[in-house]
Amino acid sequence: MSQKTKKYFVLSILFIFPIVIYLFFASGKNNFALLPVLKTGVNEIKNWETLSGRPIQFENQISILGFWGQDLVKKKGDALNLNQKIYKRFYQFKDFQFVMVLENDQQNQVNILKK
């Protein structure tokens, strides 16, 4: 191959390859467009409240419900992953919420986890 042919070959690859990759990914199915409703008619839990004392409402909300058990300090990595992968992407939606079920005596562990 001559020098000029090599140059055109490399330039054409640099131009065509990104277009092919874009078309490949653009033709894929977007699994995040519409999420299914797993269960309808879920009863409200009236006596649950947030750490600040506000009642928790599930109706007309996109809720992620979780329970980490007794030792929250061991779940620090899980909390970081949830924060980075899910919460930071969707926190601007007014109807999005995380609900983590905790016992009343776990307030100190929650404060440590928040730091």
Could you read off the pLDDT of 17-76 as tens digits, one per residue?
999 888 888 776 655 556 677 777 777 777 888 878 888 888 888 888 888 888 887 888
Cβ 57 vs Cβ 99: under 8 Å: no
Locus of tokens 């600040």: 52
This prediction's pTM = 0.54
pLDDT at residue number 28: 66
pLDDT at residue number 31: 53
Helices (H), ranges, 47-96: 76-82, 88-90
DSSP state of 85: I
Domains in the chain: boundaries:
35-114
